[in-house]
Amino acid sequence: MKILIAGGDGYCGWASALHLSARNHDVTIIDNLIRREWDFEHNLNSLVPICTIDERIQEWFRLTGKKIHFVNVDVTNYSEICKIINCEPKFDALVHFAQQRSAPFSMIDHEHAIRTHINNTVGNMNILWALHEYSPNTHLVKLGTMGEYGTPNIDVEEGFINIEYNGRSDRLPYPKQPGSFYHLTKVSDSDQINFTCRTWKLRATDLNQGIVYGYSTAEVDLSPILANRFDYDHIFGTVLNRFCIQAALGHPLTVYGIGGQTRSFIDIRDTVKCIEIACENPAKLGEYRVFNQFTEMFSVLQLAQLVQQVSENQFNLKCKIAHIKNPRTEKEVHYYNCINTNLCSLGLQPTLLSNETIASLIQLSTKYADRVNLKLIPPQVQWKPDDEETTPNIT
Ligand code: NAD
Ligand code: USQ
Protein backbone atom coordinates (compact mmCIF):
# COMPACT_ATOMS: atom_id res chain seq x y z
CA MET A 1 0.00 0.00 0.00
CA LYS A 2 1.06 3.61 -0.50
CA ILE A 3 0.91 5.15 2.97
CA LEU A 4 1.37 8.76 4.09
CA ILE A 5 2.48 9.22 7.70
CA ALA A 6 1.87 12.70 9.07
CA GLY A 7 4.03 13.21 12.17
CA GLY A 8 6.46 10.45 11.17
CA ASP A 9 9.42 12.03 12.97
CA GLY A 10 7.76 11.54 16.39
CA TYR A 11 7.70 8.72 18.95
CA CYS A 12 4.78 6.69 17.53
CA GLY A 13 5.15 7.94 13.95
CA TRP A 14 8.83 7.01 13.48
CA ALA A 15 8.38 3.48 14.88
CA SER A 16 5.26 3.02 12.70
CA ALA A 17 6.94 4.33 9.54
CA LEU A 18 9.77 1.80 9.95
CA HIS A 19 7.36 -1.03 10.78
CA LEU A 20 5.24 -0.37 7.66
CA SER A 21 8.27 0.09 5.41
CA ALA A 22 9.72 -3.19 6.72
CA ARG A 23 6.49 -4.83 5.55
CA ASN A 24 7.04 -3.45 2.04
CA HIS A 25 4.52 -0.63 2.18
CA ASP A 26 5.55 2.45 0.22
CA VAL A 27 5.93 5.01 3.03
CA THR A 28 6.10 8.80 2.82
CA ILE A 29 6.58 10.85 5.98
CA ILE A 30 5.42 14.43 6.30
CA ASP A 31 6.43 16.39 9.40
CA ASN A 32 7.37 20.03 10.03
CA LEU A 33 9.76 18.94 12.84
CA ILE A 34 7.96 21.28 15.24
CA ARG A 35 8.32 18.81 18.12
CA ARG A 36 12.12 19.24 17.97
CA GLU A 37 11.51 23.02 18.19
CA TRP A 38 9.15 22.67 21.17
CA ASP A 39 11.84 20.61 22.95
CA PHE A 40 14.38 23.36 22.25
CA GLU A 41 12.00 26.12 23.33
CA HIS A 42 11.25 24.40 26.68
CA ASN A 43 14.81 23.11 27.24
CA LEU A 44 13.72 19.47 26.97
CA ASN A 45 15.67 16.55 25.50
CA SER A 46 14.91 12.97 24.62
CA LEU A 47 16.67 10.56 27.00
CA VAL A 48 17.96 8.65 23.97
CA PRO A 49 19.77 10.89 21.45
CA ILE A 50 17.98 11.04 18.09
CA CYS A 51 19.45 11.71 14.65
CA THR A 52 18.01 14.07 12.06
CA ILE A 53 15.19 12.75 9.90
CA ASP A 54 17.53 12.71 6.85
CA GLU A 55 20.13 10.63 8.72
CA ARG A 56 17.42 8.26 9.94
CA ILE A 57 16.02 7.70 6.46
CA GLN A 58 19.47 7.23 4.87
CA GLU A 59 20.38 4.66 7.53
CA TRP A 60 17.14 2.75 6.91
CA PHE A 61 17.95 2.67 3.18
CA ARG A 62 21.53 1.58 3.89
CA LEU A 63 20.39 -1.29 6.12
CA THR A 64 17.38 -2.53 4.17
CA GLY A 65 17.44 -1.03 0.68
CA LYS A 66 13.96 0.35 1.41
CA LYS A 67 13.18 3.97 0.66
CA ILE A 68 11.12 6.17 2.99
CA HIS A 69 10.31 9.54 1.41
CA PHE A 70 10.26 12.68 3.55
CA VAL A 71 8.65 16.06 2.87
CA ASN A 72 8.76 18.93 5.37
CA VAL A 73 5.08 19.88 5.52
CA ASP A 74 3.08 21.72 8.16
CA VAL A 75 -0.41 20.23 8.24
CA THR A 76 -1.82 23.62 9.23
CA ASN A 77 -0.71 24.92 5.80
CA TYR A 78 -3.60 24.01 3.49
CA SER A 79 -1.88 24.43 0.14
CA GLU A 80 1.09 22.29 1.25
CA ILE A 81 -1.13 19.46 2.48
CA CYS A 82 -3.27 19.61 -0.69
CA LYS A 83 -0.19 19.27 -2.89
CA ILE A 84 0.83 16.06 -1.07
CA ILE A 85 -2.62 14.50 -0.92
CA ASN A 86 -3.23 15.28 -4.60
CA CYS A 87 -0.06 13.59 -5.90
CA GLU A 88 -0.45 10.53 -8.15
CA PRO A 89 -0.83 7.68 -7.54
CA LYS A 90 -3.06 8.61 -4.60
CA PHE A 91 -2.29 7.34 -1.09
CA ASP A 92 -4.23 4.27 0.05
CA ALA A 93 -3.98 5.40 3.68
CA LEU A 94 -3.05 8.56 5.55
CA VAL A 95 -2.00 7.98 9.17
CA HIS A 96 -2.34 11.23 11.12
CA PHE A 97 0.00 11.52 14.13
CA ALA A 98 0.96 15.19 13.50
CA GLN A 99 -0.37 16.97 16.56
CA GLN A 100 0.73 18.66 19.78
CA ARG A 101 0.18 15.72 22.11
CA SER A 102 0.99 16.85 25.62
CA ALA A 103 -1.77 17.65 28.13
CA PRO A 104 0.59 19.72 30.37
CA PHE A 105 1.88 21.70 27.32
CA SER A 106 -1.70 22.65 26.47
CA MET A 107 -2.33 23.83 30.05
CA ILE A 108 0.81 26.02 30.51
CA ASP A 109 -0.99 29.27 29.67
CA HIS A 110 -3.40 30.86 27.22
CA GLU A 111 -0.79 30.97 24.47
CA HIS A 112 0.04 27.25 24.69
CA ALA A 113 -3.65 26.32 24.79
CA ILE A 114 -4.30 28.38 21.65
CA ARG A 115 -1.21 26.99 19.90
CA THR A 116 -2.38 23.44 20.67
CA HIS A 117 -5.89 24.22 19.51
CA ILE A 118 -4.79 25.79 16.22
CA ASN A 119 -2.15 23.16 15.46
CA ASN A 120 -4.44 20.21 16.15
CA THR A 121 -7.86 21.45 15.05
CA VAL A 122 -6.79 23.34 11.91
CA GLY A 123 -4.39 20.54 10.95
CA ASN A 124 -7.13 17.94 11.25
CA MET A 125 -9.65 20.02 9.34
CA ASN A 126 -7.11 20.72 6.56
CA ILE A 127 -6.52 17.00 6.15
CA LEU A 128 -10.27 16.33 5.95
CA TRP A 129 -10.82 19.11 3.38
CA ALA A 130 -7.83 18.00 1.30
CA LEU A 131 -9.09 14.39 1.29
CA HIS A 132 -12.57 15.59 0.31
CA GLU A 133 -11.25 17.79 -2.52
CA TYR A 134 -8.51 15.55 -3.92
CA SER A 135 -8.57 11.98 -2.63
CA PRO A 136 -11.85 10.82 -1.04
CA ASN A 137 -10.87 7.15 -1.41
CA THR A 138 -7.84 7.50 0.85
CA HIS A 139 -8.49 5.87 4.23
CA LEU A 140 -7.79 8.26 7.10
CA VAL A 141 -6.28 6.53 10.14
CA LYS A 142 -6.39 9.16 12.87
CA LEU A 143 -4.72 8.97 16.28
CA GLY A 144 -7.25 9.88 18.92
CA THR A 145 -6.93 9.14 22.61
CA MET A 146 -8.63 7.16 25.38
CA GLY A 147 -8.62 10.40 27.38
CA GLU A 148 -11.45 11.69 25.17
CA TYR A 149 -13.83 9.60 27.28
CA GLY A 150 -12.57 10.73 30.68
CA THR A 151 -13.40 8.45 33.59
CA PRO A 152 -17.20 7.87 33.55
CA ASN A 153 -18.87 5.63 36.14
CA ILE A 154 -19.94 3.17 33.40
CA ASP A 155 -18.01 0.95 30.95
CA VAL A 156 -16.33 2.79 28.07
CA GLU A 157 -17.45 1.43 24.69
CA GLU A 158 -15.59 1.86 21.39
CA GLY A 159 -16.80 5.23 20.18
CA PHE A 160 -20.56 4.61 20.33
CA ILE A 161 -23.12 3.60 22.96
CA ASN A 162 -26.66 2.19 22.67
CA ILE A 163 -29.05 4.54 24.46
CA GLU A 164 -32.68 3.91 25.39
CA TYR A 165 -34.60 7.03 26.29
CA ASN A 166 -38.31 7.67 26.68
CA GLY A 167 -39.14 4.39 24.98
CA ARG A 168 -36.88 4.97 21.96
CA SER A 169 -33.34 3.78 21.27
CA ASP A 170 -30.35 4.84 19.17
CA ARG A 171 -26.62 4.16 18.81
CA LEU A 172 -24.95 7.48 19.56
CA PRO A 173 -21.41 8.84 19.98
CA TYR A 174 -20.13 7.95 23.45
CA PRO A 175 -20.20 11.00 25.81
CA LYS A 176 -16.83 12.72 26.13
CA GLN A 177 -15.27 14.29 29.23
CA PRO A 178 -11.69 15.24 28.33
CA GLY A 179 -9.26 16.39 31.02
CA SER A 180 -7.11 19.03 29.27
CA PHE A 181 -7.21 21.44 26.33
CA TYR A 182 -5.09 18.89 24.45
CA HIS A 183 -7.62 16.11 25.05
CA LEU A 184 -10.40 18.53 24.05
CA THR A 185 -8.83 18.97 20.60
CA LYS A 186 -9.07 15.21 20.09
CA VAL A 187 -12.80 15.28 20.91
CA SER A 188 -13.27 18.02 18.35
CA ASP A 189 -11.25 16.03 15.76
CA SER A 190 -13.49 13.00 16.34
CA ASP A 191 -16.60 15.11 15.73
CA GLN A 192 -15.09 16.58 12.56
CA ILE A 193 -14.13 13.16 11.22
CA ASN A 194 -17.49 11.61 12.05
CA PHE A 195 -19.24 14.57 10.38
CA THR A 196 -17.18 14.34 7.17
CA CYS A 197 -17.70 10.58 6.88
CA ARG A 198 -21.46 11.12 7.18
CA THR A 199 -21.55 14.19 4.96
CA TRP A 200 -18.92 13.62 2.27
CA LYS A 201 -18.59 9.83 2.54
CA LEU A 202 -14.94 9.90 3.56
CA ARG A 203 -13.63 6.71 5.20
CA ALA A 204 -11.89 6.88 8.57
CA THR A 205 -10.67 4.92 11.57
CA ASP A 206 -10.32 6.87 14.81
CA LEU A 207 -7.79 5.06 17.01
CA ASN A 208 -8.43 6.03 20.61
CA GLN A 209 -5.00 5.12 21.86
CA GLY A 210 -4.08 4.65 25.51
CA ILE A 211 -0.80 5.81 27.03
CA VAL A 212 2.11 4.37 25.04
CA TYR A 213 5.11 2.93 26.88
CA GLY A 214 8.31 1.28 25.81
CA TYR A 215 11.15 1.96 23.45
CA SER A 216 12.22 -1.09 21.45
CA THR A 217 10.69 -2.24 18.20
CA ALA A 218 12.33 -4.73 15.84
CA GLU A 219 13.27 -1.92 13.43
CA VAL A 220 14.30 0.85 15.88
CA ASP A 221 16.71 -1.61 17.51
CA LEU A 222 18.62 -2.21 14.26
CA SER A 223 20.92 0.81 14.63
CA PRO A 224 21.60 3.76 17.00
CA ILE A 225 20.94 6.04 14.00
CA LEU A 226 17.37 4.70 13.91
CA ALA A 227 16.94 5.49 17.63
CA ASN A 228 13.51 6.70 18.71
CA ARG A 229 12.80 9.54 21.13
CA PHE A 230 12.16 8.62 24.77
CA ASP A 231 10.72 11.48 26.82
CA TYR A 232 11.22 11.77 30.56
CA ASP A 233 10.34 15.42 31.27
CA HIS A 234 7.20 16.64 33.05
CA ILE A 235 5.67 17.95 29.80
CA PHE A 236 6.07 15.17 27.21
CA GLY A 237 7.20 12.24 29.38
CA THR A 238 4.37 9.77 30.00
CA VAL A 239 3.87 8.05 33.30
CA LEU A 240 5.35 4.55 32.92
CA ASN A 241 8.34 5.67 30.84
CA ARG A 242 8.96 8.38 33.44
CA PHE A 243 8.79 5.94 36.35
CA CYS A 244 11.39 3.64 34.72
CA ILE A 245 13.77 6.55 34.16
CA GLN A 246 13.20 7.83 37.70
CA ALA A 247 13.92 4.36 39.13
CA ALA A 248 17.21 4.17 37.20
CA LEU A 249 18.26 7.55 38.58
CA GLY A 250 17.28 6.73 42.17
CA HIS A 251 14.68 9.51 41.98
CA PRO A 252 11.45 8.88 43.95
CA LEU A 253 8.62 7.85 41.61
CA THR A 254 6.38 10.87 41.08
CA VAL A 255 2.89 9.53 41.76
CA TYR A 256 0.47 12.46 41.50
CA GLY A 257 -1.83 12.37 44.53
CA ILE A 258 -3.19 9.03 45.75
CA GLY A 259 -2.34 7.32 42.44
CA GLY A 260 -5.74 5.66 42.00
CA GLN A 261 -6.03 7.32 38.56
CA THR A 262 -6.55 4.37 36.23
CA ARG A 263 -5.67 4.62 32.55
CA SER A 264 -5.36 2.42 29.46
CA PHE A 265 -1.86 1.45 28.27
CA ILE A 266 -0.19 -0.02 25.19
CA ASP A 267 3.35 -1.15 24.38
CA ILE A 268 4.85 0.71 21.38
CA ARG A 269 5.41 -2.70 19.73
CA ASP A 270 1.61 -3.07 19.69
CA THR A 271 1.06 0.54 18.55
CA VAL A 272 2.90 -0.20 15.32
CA LYS A 273 0.94 -3.44 14.81
CA CYS A 274 -2.37 -1.63 15.37
CA ILE A 275 -1.43 0.94 12.72
CA GLU A 276 -0.61 -1.89 10.31
CA ILE A 277 -3.92 -3.64 11.10
CA ALA A 278 -5.94 -0.43 10.64
CA CYS A 279 -4.26 0.36 7.29
CA GLU A 280 -4.60 -3.16 5.92
CA ASN A 281 -8.28 -3.44 6.92
CA PRO A 282 -9.69 -0.11 5.71
CA ALA A 283 -13.02 1.39 6.72
CA LYS A 284 -15.67 1.34 3.99
CA LEU A 285 -16.48 4.54 2.09
CA GLY A 286 -18.69 6.68 4.33
CA GLU A 287 -17.76 4.65 7.42
CA TYR A 288 -16.47 6.28 10.61
CA ARG A 289 -15.25 3.59 12.99
CA VAL A 290 -13.60 3.85 16.37
CA PHE A 291 -11.11 1.36 17.83
CA ASN A 292 -9.95 1.65 21.43
CA GLN A 293 -6.22 1.06 20.97
CA PHE A 294 -4.91 -0.24 24.28
CA THR A 295 -4.15 -3.63 25.78
CA GLU A 296 -4.30 -3.22 29.58
CA MET A 297 -5.51 -0.90 32.34
CA PHE A 298 -3.44 0.07 35.38
CA SER A 299 -3.66 2.63 38.14
CA VAL A 300 -0.70 4.97 38.47
CA LEU A 301 0.09 3.49 41.90
CA GLN A 302 0.02 -0.08 40.52
CA LEU A 303 2.59 0.93 37.90
CA ALA A 304 4.79 2.60 40.49
CA GLN A 305 4.68 -0.58 42.59
CA LEU A 306 5.58 -2.76 39.59
CA VAL A 307 8.55 -0.52 38.74
CA GLN A 308 9.59 -0.48 42.41
CA GLN A 309 9.56 -4.30 42.57
CA VAL A 310 11.63 -4.71 39.40
CA SER A 311 14.20 -2.10 40.41
CA GLU A 312 14.64 -3.59 43.87
CA ASN A 313 14.55 -7.27 42.90
CA GLN A 314 16.48 -7.18 39.62
CA PHE A 315 18.80 -4.19 40.00
CA ASN A 316 19.15 -3.85 43.75
CA LEU A 317 18.17 -0.20 43.36
CA LYS A 318 16.46 1.56 46.28
CA CYS A 319 13.19 2.86 44.88
CA LYS A 320 10.84 5.15 46.82
CA ILE A 321 7.32 6.08 45.83
CA ALA A 322 6.54 9.76 46.47
CA HIS A 323 2.92 10.88 46.51
CA ILE A 324 3.26 14.46 45.39
CA LYS A 325 0.58 17.13 45.17
CA ASN A 326 -1.44 16.43 42.03
CA PRO A 327 -1.05 19.34 39.59
CA ARG A 328 -4.00 18.13 37.50
CA THR A 329 -7.73 18.31 38.00
CA GLU A 330 -8.68 14.62 37.77
CA LYS A 331 -10.37 11.94 39.86
CA GLU A 332 -7.84 10.00 41.93
CA VAL A 333 -10.24 7.16 42.76
CA HIS A 334 -12.84 6.09 40.23
CA TYR A 335 -14.46 3.26 38.25
CA TYR A 336 -12.68 2.45 34.97
CA ASN A 337 -13.44 -0.35 32.56
CA CYS A 338 -12.85 0.09 28.83
CA ILE A 339 -13.70 -2.22 25.93
CA ASN A 340 -10.98 -3.03 23.36
CA THR A 341 -12.31 -5.89 21.25
CA ASN A 342 -12.18 -4.34 17.74
CA LEU A 343 -8.42 -4.50 17.16
CA CYS A 344 -8.14 -7.94 18.78
CA SER A 345 -10.87 -9.26 16.48
CA LEU A 346 -8.79 -8.02 13.52
CA GLY A 347 -5.78 -10.01 14.76
CA LEU A 348 -3.95 -7.96 17.40
CA GLN A 349 -2.23 -10.27 19.88
CA PRO A 350 -1.51 -8.06 22.88
CA THR A 351 2.01 -7.73 24.27
CA LEU A 352 1.27 -7.50 27.98
CA LEU A 353 3.40 -5.46 30.38
CA SER A 354 6.12 -7.71 31.78
CA ASN A 355 8.94 -7.40 34.28
CA GLU A 356 11.30 -7.88 31.30
CA THR A 357 9.95 -4.79 29.57
CA ILE A 358 10.24 -2.70 32.74
CA ALA A 359 13.78 -4.04 33.29
CA SER A 360 14.77 -3.18 29.71
CA LEU A 361 13.53 0.40 30.17
CA ILE A 362 15.44 0.75 33.43
CA GLN A 363 18.56 -0.56 31.67
CA LEU A 364 18.11 1.85 28.77
CA SER A 365 17.69 4.72 31.24
CA THR A 366 20.83 3.74 33.15
CA LYS A 367 22.79 3.80 29.87
CA TYR A 368 21.77 7.41 29.16
CA ALA A 369 21.44 8.62 32.77
CA ASP A 370 24.03 11.37 32.26
CA ARG A 371 21.73 13.06 29.71
CA VAL A 372 18.95 13.61 32.28
CA ASN A 373 18.28 17.09 33.57
CA LEU A 374 16.80 16.39 37.02
CA LYS A 375 15.04 19.77 37.04
CA LEU A 376 12.75 18.49 34.28
CA ILE A 377 11.30 15.69 36.42
CA PRO A 378 8.98 17.41 38.97
CA PRO A 379 5.70 18.64 37.49
CA GLN A 380 5.66 22.40 36.89
CA VAL A 381 2.39 22.88 35.02
CA GLN A 382 -0.53 23.20 37.41
CA TRP A 383 -4.14 23.20 36.33
CA LYS A 384 -5.87 22.30 39.57
CA PRO A 385 -7.06 25.58 41.17
CA ASP A 386 -4.92 26.54 44.20
CA ASP A 387 -7.79 26.49 46.69
CA GLU A 388 -8.73 22.84 45.92
CA GLU A 389 -8.04 20.25 48.59
CA THR A 390 -4.58 18.72 48.10
CA THR A 391 -3.52 15.15 48.72
CA PRO A 392 -1.53 14.38 51.87
CA ASN A 393 2.05 13.25 51.35
CA ILE A 394 1.75 9.50 51.98
CA THR A 395 5.19 8.21 50.91
P1 NAD B 1 5.37 13.20 19.18
O2 NAD B 1 5.33 14.58 19.73
O3 NAD B 1 6.54 12.35 19.50
O4 NAD B 1 5.23 13.25 17.57
C5 NAD B 1 4.34 14.10 16.91
C6 NAD B 1 4.99 14.48 15.58
O7 NAD B 1 4.07 15.32 14.85
C8 NAD B 1 6.28 15.29 15.77
O9 NAD B 1 7.32 14.76 14.98
C10 NAD B 1 5.90 16.69 15.32
O11 NAD B 1 6.98 17.42 14.76
C12 NAD B 1 4.79 16.42 14.31
N13 NAD B 1 3.85 17.55 14.17
C14 NAD B 1 3.15 18.19 15.14
N15 NAD B 1 2.43 19.19 14.60
C16 NAD B 1 2.66 19.17 13.27
C17 NAD B 1 2.20 19.96 12.18
N18 NAD B 1 1.40 21.01 12.35
N19 NAD B 1 2.60 19.63 10.93
C20 NAD B 1 3.45 18.59 10.72
N21 NAD B 1 3.95 17.83 11.71
C22 NAD B 1 3.55 18.12 12.98
O23 NAD B 1 4.01 12.48 19.62
P24 NAD B 1 3.67 10.92 19.69
O25 NAD B 1 3.84 10.47 21.07
O26 NAD B 1 4.35 10.21 18.59
O27 NAD B 1 2.11 10.97 19.38
C28 NAD B 1 1.64 10.85 18.05
C29 NAD B 1 0.12 10.89 18.03
O30 NAD B 1 -0.38 9.81 18.81
C31 NAD B 1 -0.47 12.17 18.60
O32 NAD B 1 -1.56 12.56 17.83
C33 NAD B 1 -0.91 11.76 19.98
O34 NAD B 1 -2.00 12.53 20.40
C35 NAD B 1 -1.29 10.31 19.78
N36 NAD B 1 -1.16 9.54 21.02
C37 NAD B 1 0.05 9.43 21.64
C38 NAD B 1 0.15 8.72 22.84
C39 NAD B 1 1.43 8.58 23.60
O40 NAD B 1 1.40 8.06 24.73
N41 NAD B 1 2.57 9.00 23.05
C42 NAD B 1 -1.01 8.11 23.35
C43 NAD B 1 -2.23 8.25 22.69
C44 NAD B 1 -2.30 8.96 21.52
N1 USQ C 1 1.00 10.93 36.31
C2 USQ C 1 1.61 10.72 37.54
N3 USQ C 1 2.94 10.97 37.64
C4 USQ C 1 3.69 11.39 36.59
C5 USQ C 1 3.06 11.59 35.35
C6 USQ C 1 1.72 11.36 35.25
O7 USQ C 1 0.97 10.32 38.52
O8 USQ C 1 4.90 11.60 36.76
C9 USQ C 1 -0.44 10.63 36.18
C10 USQ C 1 -1.29 11.78 35.66
O11 USQ C 1 -1.77 12.57 36.70
C12 USQ C 1 -2.39 11.03 34.90
C13 USQ C 1 -1.71 9.76 34.41
O14 USQ C 1 -0.52 9.62 35.19
O15 USQ C 1 -3.39 10.65 35.77
C16 USQ C 1 -1.32 9.78 32.94
O17 USQ C 1 -0.51 10.92 32.67
P18 USQ C 1 0.48 10.93 31.42
O19 USQ C 1 1.22 12.21 31.43
O20 USQ C 1 1.24 9.67 31.37
O21 USQ C 1 -0.54 10.83 30.19
P22 USQ C 1 -1.58 11.88 29.60
O23 USQ C 1 -1.38 13.24 30.10
O24 USQ C 1 -2.94 11.28 29.74
O25 USQ C 1 -1.19 11.90 28.05
C26 USQ C 1 -0.55 10.80 27.40
C27 USQ C 1 0.02 11.33 26.08
C28 USQ C 1 -1.14 11.79 25.20
C29 USQ C 1 -2.15 10.66 25.04
C30 USQ C 1 -2.63 10.14 26.39
C31 USQ C 1 -3.45 8.88 26.26
O32 USQ C 1 0.92 12.39 26.31
O33 USQ C 1 -0.64 12.16 23.92
O34 USQ C 1 -3.26 11.14 24.32
O35 USQ C 1 -1.47 9.76 27.18
S36 USQ C 1 -4.80 8.85 27.39
O37 USQ C 1 -4.27 9.09 28.74
O38 USQ C 1 -5.42 7.57 27.28
O39 USQ C 1 -5.67 9.93 27.00
Q: What per-residue confidence (pLDDT) applies to 387? A: 66
Average pLDDT over residues 70-98: 98
Q: Which residue's CA is minimally distant from atom 33 of ligand 2?
A: 101
Ligand 2 mean position, distance from CA 327 (Å):
12
End-to-end CA distance of the chain: 52
Q: Residue 97 contacts by C-beta under 8 Å, 6 or more apart in sequence?
A: 5, 6, 7, 8, 10, 12, 13, 16, 143
Task: Determine what percent of the chain is predicted with pLDDT higher than 90.
Answer: 97
Q: Is the model's pTM score more than 0.80?
A: yes
Burial of residue 360 (CB within 10 Å: 0-12, 13-18, 19+) is middle
Average pLDDT over residues 377-387: 90
Q: What per-residue confidence (pLDDT) applies to 388? A: 62
- As a whole number of angstroms, the distance between CA 244 and CA 321 comes to 12
Q: Residue 282 contacts by C-beta under 8 Å, 6 or more apart in sequence?
A: 92, 93, 139, 203, 205
Q: Which residue's CA is minimally distant from atom 19 of ligand 2?
A: 238
| Antiparallel, parallel or unpaired: β 211-213 and 262-267 | parallel
Active site residues: 145, 182, 186
Q: Which ligand is nearest to the CA of 238?
A: 2
Q: Which residue's CA is minimally distant from atom 33 of ligand 1?
A: 101
- As a whole number of angstroms, the distance between CA 216 and CA 367 comes to 14
Domains in the chain and their CATH numbers? 2-211+268-294 (3.40.50.720)
- Per-residue pLDDT band at 394 (split at 50, 70, 90): very low
Q: Which ligand is nearest to the CA of 297?
A: 2
Ligand 1 environment, Cβ below 6 A: 7, 9-13, 31-35, 74-76, 97-99, 101, 119, 123, 143, 145, 209, 211-212, 229, 238
Q: Which residue's CA is minimally distant from atom 39 of ligand 2?
A: 147
Which of 116, 174, 211 most suits a substitution to test ligand 2, by most atoms within 8 Å of the C-beta? Answer: 211
Per-residue exposure over 282-320, b if at least 16 CB sit within 10 Å of its own CB, e if not: bbeeeebbbbbbbbebbbbbebbbbbbebbeeeeebebe
Length of the chain counted residue by residue: 395
The candidate with the shortest Cα–Cα distance to 236, out of 381, 350, 339, is 381
> 112 — phi, psi (to 5°)?
-70, -30
- Per-residue pLDDT band at 90 (split at 50, 70, 90): very high
Residue 392 pLDDT greater than 50, yes or no: no
List, for residues 333-363, the tens digit of each pLDDT value.
999 999 999 999 999 999 999 999 999 999 9
Strands (E), 268-348: 288-293, 296-299, 321-324
Q: What per-residue confidence (pLDDT) applies to 395? A: 37
Q: Which ligand is nearest to the CA of 212?
A: 1
Ligand 2 mean position, distance from CA 263 (Å):
8
Which of 4, 11, 274 most suits a substitution to test ligand 1, by most atoms within 8 Å of the C-beta? Answer: 11
Q: Which residue's CA is minimally distant from atom 41 of ligand 1?
A: 212
- Could you tell me how far CA 382 lies from the centroid of its own chain? 21
* Adjacent-strand bridge partners of 145: 209
Q: What per-residue confidence (pLDDT) applies to 385? A: 86
Ligand 2 environment, Cβ below 6 A: 101-103, 145-147, 210-211, 238-239, 242, 254-256, 261, 263-264, 300, 328, 330
Q: Cis omega before residue 89 (within 30°)?
A: yes
Ligand 2 atom closest to the Cα of residue 261 is: 15
Residue 125 pLDDT greater than 60, yes or no: yes
Q: Which residue's CA is minimally distant from atom 34 of ligand 2?
A: 145
Residue 393 pLDDT greater than 60, yes or no: no
Output the DSSP codes for 359-384.
Answer: HHHHHHHHHTGGG--GGGSS-----S
Which of 156, 209, 239, 306 most suits a substitution to test ligand 2, by most atoms within 8 Å of the C-beta? Answer: 239
- As a whole number of angstroms, the distance between CA 187 and CA 195 comes to 12
List, for residues 198-257, the tens digit of each pLDDT value.
999 999 999 999 999 999 999 999 999 999 999 999 999 999 999 999 999 999 999 999
Torsion of CA 76, 79, 82, 88, to 10 degrees: -140
- Per-residue pLDDT band at 373 (split at 50, 70, 90): very high
